[in-house]
Each structure stands twice: as structure tokens, then as C-alpha cells.
Amino acid sequence: MTATAAAAATLTARALLLDMDGTIVNSDAVVERCWRRWAAAQGLDGDAVMEVVHGRQGYATMALLLPDRPMELNHEDNRRMLAEETADVDGVVPVPGAPAFLAALAGLPHALVTSADRTLSRTRMEAAGLPLPELRITAESVSASKPDPEGFLKAAAELGFAPADCVVFEDSEAGIAAGRAAGMRVVGVGPRAAAHGPDVAVPDLTAVAVEAGPDGRIVLKIS
């Protein structure tokens, strides 16, 4: 099933797996500033770079853009970029509907699955005024970046649910591909998501209502 933002839908799940940037936190302003500086330093077109940065860990984006570059240089730049992004919270805000959405998940099985590291994820969630889920799968938790499904599969396993019982919330091409590769249904959030084949696409989280079902399932009503 593929639905648009205008089509109502109801999904049920045992657990929800949430991307951070672009899905519950709007950090686009910081990402633009940091990555356009990096693009300029590498002699790359900033607009072209911004087309592929979302969802992946930094080193994976660099390897995609500069395939002949030594990977150790990508990891070195990635460490520096993470420090820059952690220090810059100007313009970091919650995605519309995110505070109520996360409040509704209190006590229900869910996890954060992000390409950010522990420090950056904590910094951005705090800057946006959002609670940190108890389970967080960050860059340090995995050996492969999205679109590899490792992060989502690890989160499902740690929560104790089969992939088919999980629903992923994602905004990026890489993240949506990772969720689908994990065998999970995907709710695409925001302007980037609809073009990349999520099961349901919403403009933001105000279109998602969360209810606890009588059998312990999570009921998602998409408007």
C-alpha cells in the first residue's frame, strides 16, 4: 500500500522506530550551514551535495560524493563535522506535531534510530525540547549507515519485536530505503519523503494520532 498525505489510513504496530533529523527534529538550517561549507572546501556544488546528505552518516555521504577519496579522510572530516553540528543549535526546532506525538508514545514501545552520534542526538533533542526515548540506536551502535537496515533491525531486536511488527518514521531516501530493507512499514514525514516510496506520507506529525490498542498494539491514525 502506498498512500498520500491526503489519504486517511490506519496502521497498527507493536513498536515504532523513529528517525530524528527531518522526522521529529527540524535541523535543516544547521545541516545546510555545515554541509555547504564542506562542499565549498571540496569544490563541490552545494545544491548537489544537499540532495544526498539527509539520512546517511557523514562519512557515507562523503564516500558517495567523492568515491575515489581515501576513507580515512572521510572519517576524519566526519568527526570534525559532528563537532561542528553539535556546537550549532541555531534554528533547531521540533517538527510540527512532534511534542504531542512523543508524549503519546510515553509507555509504549519505541526507539530513536538516527545516523547522529550519541552526543549530537542528545544535543538536538534537548534543543528541540523533546524527550529522549529510552532506547537510542545511534552512529556508535551500528557498523553500517542507512540505507543499510542494521539500525532498524537492531532496534526491533532490542525491543523484542519482529520487523514486520514495527513501523518506521523517516524523512529521507536513505532512511526510507533502510526501513523497507528491514521488512518494516514506513511512514514518510515531510517534503522529502513522498517521492521515495513510503507506505504512507504525511506533511508533518500533526497528521498522526497515536492510540494504545486493547491488545497492546499501537494504533496510528493518519489524517
What's the pLDDT at 7? Answer: 59
Peptide bond into 163 cis (omega under 30): no
Q: What are phi and psi of 161, to 5 degrees?
A: -125, 150
Catalytic status, residue 88:
no
**One-letter identity of residue 204:** D
Domain assignment of residue 36, yes or no: yes
Domain assignment of residue 2, yes or no: no
Q: Which of 21, 77, 171, 199 is catalytic?
A: 21
Domain assignment of residue 157, yes or no: yes
Instruction: Assess whether 67 and 146 both reside in one domain.
Output: no
Residue that is last in its domain, among 39, 62, 87: 87
Q: What is the DSSP string of 143-163?
A: SS-TTSTHHHHHHHHHHT--G
Kind and range of the H or E run holding 86: helix 71-87
Instruction: Assess whether 40 and 132 both reside in one domain.
Output: no
Instruction: Assess whether 17 and 33 both reside in one domain.
Output: no
Domain assignment of residue 166, yes or no: yes
Instruction: Assess whether 96 and 203 both reside in one domain.
Output: yes
Domain limits for position 40: 28-87
What's the pLDDT at 2? Answer: 44
Domain assignment of residue 3, yes or no: no
Residue that is last in its domain, among 87, 106, 134: 87
CA dist list (Å): 22 to 70, 96, 109, 204: 29, 11, 21, 9
Catalytic status, residue 21:
yes
Instruction: Assess whether 144 and 191 both reside in one domain.
Output: yes
Instruction: Assess whether 155 and 199 both reside in one domain.
Output: yes
Contact at 8 Å (CB) between 171 and 192? yes
Instruction: Assess whether 42 and 117 both reside in one domain.
Output: no
- HSE-up (13 A, CA, CB side) for residue 128: 29
User: Which 3 state secondary structure label does DSSP give 220?
Assistant: strand
- Our count of domains for the chain comes to 2
Nearest to 152 by CA among 173, 132, 135: 135
Q: Which of 19, 28, 171, 204 is catalytic?
A: 19
Instruction: Assess whether 119 and 215 both reside in one domain.
Output: yes
Instruction: Assess whether 193 and 135 both reside in one domain.
Output: yes
Instruction: Assess whether 57 and 33 both reside in one domain.
Output: yes
186 vs 189: CA distance, rounded Å:
9
pLDDT under 70: residue ranges of the chain: 1-7
- For residue 208, the domain's CATH number is 3.40.50.1000
Instruction: Assess whether 160 and 170 both reside in one domain.
Output: yes
Instruction: Assess whether 96 and 82 both reside in one domain.
Output: no
Burial 144-179 (b: 16+ CB within 10 A, else e): ebbbbbbbbbbbbeebebebebbbbbbbbbbbbbbb
Residue that is last in its domain, among 44, 64, 87: 87
